[in-house]
Structure 1
Amino acid sequence: MVASPPPSKPVLAGATARTAPAPIKAAKAWLAGHDPAPGLPVLDVSQAAPSDPPPQNMRDAIADFVRHDPEAHLYGAILGDAELRVDFAAHWSHAYKAQVSASQVAITSGCNQAFCAVITALCSAGDNVLLPVPWYFNHKMWLDVMGVEATPLPTGKNLLPDASLARHLITKKTKAICLVSPNNPSGVEYPDAVLNAFYQLAKDHDLTLIIDETYKDFHSNPKRPHSLLDAPDWKQHLVQLYSFSKAYRMTGHRVGAIIANKALLAEVEKYLDTTTICASRVGQFAARWGLNHLQPWLADQRKEILQRQTFLKRNFETLERQGWELVGCGAYFAYVKHPFASSGADLAQKLVAEAGVLCLPGDMFAPPGTRNAAKHLRLAFANIDQTNLKEMIIRLSNLTFQLAPDCSEA
């Protein structure tokens, strides 16, 4: 009697099959697959997140809350704890010299969930959203899952999107334009004039302009990042997204925010109720505590990040002489063009093995086949100080990989 073959695994063809695997997970796997060069401990510039915990006084406050307040362990309001919404609205109003009310704020389980909730409220399968390239890959991934087309918006050499070009990409199915400023992956800060041009474009076509401001607290402008909230009708066309993770080193607590009109937040509330019900109560406590107690500390953190940017720009000349180009630098990121024949994931894995540098290739932030995307790298320097930044530059300058034909004379 012939034995029956073992049953085959079912082919998973649900909505998540429409998108790519998590890029950060893929990059971390390169560490397991390669032994870094001897004497070169890994410099991990792959993930845009602080690795240090919150300051001790914040951790002490969190511990007291967990030990002594029963609310730490219970469900809360779907759109967030009232006290946090009030305090965050006041913080946002002060930062943008505008009037934002608590009813225009929703608290989410991280900024990625904020994006997912807004897109789910605005879009249906078959719609499209304009995303400048290079884009933040988690935005693209959620659009894929939703069956929403991510319409690539090319950027110029300065990596700034152009509203006049975007106008020609808008169709009857376009529901939103999503910008990230300061940008991930490029670090570029979008000037106020650029943001206002996109706001006017959204207004002209009755679209929603979504601005992910995860890195707002590390903007080089000491006053305010933009003037969009000056528009009397901003509530009709503007949505802002924010993350507490980067500012207060609380990535594991997963707390983000949405600033939008009440009607949109009523739809967002349905999404939040069916996914997480509410953001972590402990995380919300931490976010509010940070808002109310850590502003001087945060100012010092911003100063340190800006100093790293300046240091990197000043010391990049060593690499420029070898054909490298610093295309963008801001917030946590340097977006660089390399001179080598190898590119994409192939080059990134070689960098781990031969230089002990773990970073992400540019084609993780672009549609397949995008010209020159794989010739770029994102270096996220939030976790390395100036000493290690210098070490990273030295290691990259010592590489002897084959040059691309157009860089052989650099």
Structure 2
Amino acid sequence: MTAAKINSFVSTLSAPPIPSVIAWGREYNGAMGSLIDLSQAVPGYPTHPDMLRLLGETAAQQALTGYGPIEGEPLLRQTYAAHVSEVYGAKIAASNIHITAGCNQAFMCTAIALAGPGDTVALTNPFYFNHDTTLSMLGIGRRLVDCDPVGGFLPDLGSAEAALAAGAKMLAVVTPNNPTGAVYPPDLLHALFTLCRKYGAWLVVDETYRDFLAEDHGRPHTLLSEQGWEETLVLLYSFSKSFCIPGHRLGAITAGPQLITEVAKVMDNMQICAPRSAQIAVASALPILSGWRAGNRLEIARRAEALKQAVSELPGWEIAALGAYFAFIRHPMANRSSSEVAEKLARERGVICIPGAYFGEGQEQYLRFAFANVDAASIGLLPDRLR
């Protein structure tokens, strides 16, 4: 008898990273105080009462229990298009928006629509691990774009051009970055856009943490004002962090109408439609919770300052990049892998973080801290834990 085989594109992947590091934390005995979880990026403050109220009201509506439009509820598509137009100072229509069940799904739908088995996609190194595993399970090749640690892990334009010249169908970047926190300047994004246009490739920008840019940052970029941007650019977004609703899985794609049509074909086979009640609730929350969201951005900035202070007290430790939700921190144990260091911190010191090696090649000296998860007081405990 011959045993049935599992898809090798899936079976060769490592187990999901977050559960593995949380498992290390379960072995912590509490000797140094409460567990400090800096692993998965989750909002470290409660959901606004009005958001909870809206979710409850919409969940109770019989009209929203059936299937909805594949591209998303018209109300949310219109409301989010108006929001994007305001953020970028560009004219974006509902036809440019596709609502998904979270940003990971947005990336997967986009990747399927733009590339196929045997094609190549360029990712930055370090990369967001779910982008990498998505490509792997789809049989899509990966080419890495170098990011210089000395320059704050910004992608190297020469390396990006080499990847595109070698035939990469798309270049996927995340800004503010996961895992490093690096914020890509508008001129750098424009240069990447120009390269993609030159080689007939797509620039896919994951902006999950866009709402946590510094107050004085200004517009993230001006790419939506470029003539014919629809033929080169795709923007991805998540409502999870800004509205503290990651369990409701809601994201968005901004692209040209032609690509939205192709994404709808993928979505129809993947999920049919994103959660409907959450879509209507978020459409109402977008305008009324803008002040609350701005306050949260300031709170995250305070936590970033607390982390800078904490690491400054630790000889040998160094923040290589920091922004929005994350910091990429260089640890001083040159003879140990990032996994060894992270496991020891979780089991013995009660600090859960992600090994740098989970995010790409040559990242063994780094750990990812999702500092937005915990308050400034808890961050202040880190020097004693990490010494």
Q: TM-score range by the shorter chain?
A: over 0.9
Aligned to 2:55: 62
Letter in 1 for 2:340: D
1:119 aligned onto 2:114:
no
Per-residue CA deviations over 1:187-218 (Å, capped at 9, x if unaligned) read 00001111011000001001100000000000
1:9 and 1:352, CA in 2 relative to 1: closer, same or farther beyond 3 A?
farther
Bigger CA radius of gyration = 1
- Classify the secondary structure of the residue corresponding to 1:93: helix
Letter in 2 for 1:316: V
- Classify the secondary structure of the residue corresponding to 1:20: coil
1:295 aligned onto 2:285:
no
1:276 aligned onto 2:271:
yes
Aligned to 1:379: 369
1:207 aligned onto 2:201:
yes
1:164 aligned onto 2:162:
no
Cα separation, 2, equivalents of 1:81 and 1:393: 47
1:148 aligned onto 2:140:
yes
Aligned to 1:175: 169
Q: More deviation in 101-110 or 169-178?
A: 169-178
Aligned to 1:191: 185
Cα separation, 1, equivalents of 2:143 and 2:166: 13
User: Considering only aligned residues, what root-mean-square deviation do their CA atoms show, in Å?
Assistant: 1.6
Cα separation, 1, equivalents of 2:54 and 2:172: 36
Letter in 2 for 1:344: S
Aligned to 2:124: 132
- Classify the secondary structure of the residue corresponding to 1:106: strand
Of the candidates 350, 355, 365, which is equivalent to residue 361 of structure 1?
355
Of the candidates 77, 96, 104, which is equivalent to residue 96 of structure 2?
104
1:10 and 1:345, CA in 2 relative to 1: closer, same or farther beyond 3 A?
farther
Is this contact kept in 1: 2:328–2:367, CA < 8 A?
yes
Cα separation, 2, equivalents of 1:387 and 1:52: 13
Of the candidates 314, 326, 336, which is equivalent to residue 333 of structure 1?
326
Q: Structure 1 length normalisation: TM-score?
A: 0.90
- Classify the secondary structure of the residue corresponding to 2:237: strand
- Deviation of the 1:311 alpha carbon: 2.5
- Deviation of the 1:51 alpha carbon: 5.0
Of the candidates 245, 249, 253, which is equivalent to residue 254 of structure 1?
249
Is this contact kept in 2: 1:162–1:194, CA < 8 A?
no
Aligned to 1:25: 19
Per-residue CA deviations over 1:340-372 (Å, capped at 9, x if unaligned) read 132222211110122110100000000xxx33x
Per-residue CA deviations over 1:86-142 (Å, capped at 9, x if unaligned) read 000000000011111100000000000000000000001111111111100000000
Is this contact kept in 2: 1:255–1:287, CA < 8 A?
no
Letter in 2 for 1:248: F
Of the candidates 310, 313, 318, which is equivalent to residue 318 of structure 1?
313
* Identical residues among aligned pairs (%): 37
Aligned to 2:29: 36
Aligned to 1:407: none
- Classify the secondary structure of the residue corresponding to 2:69: coil
Is this contact kept in 1: 2:51–2:243, CA < 8 A?
no
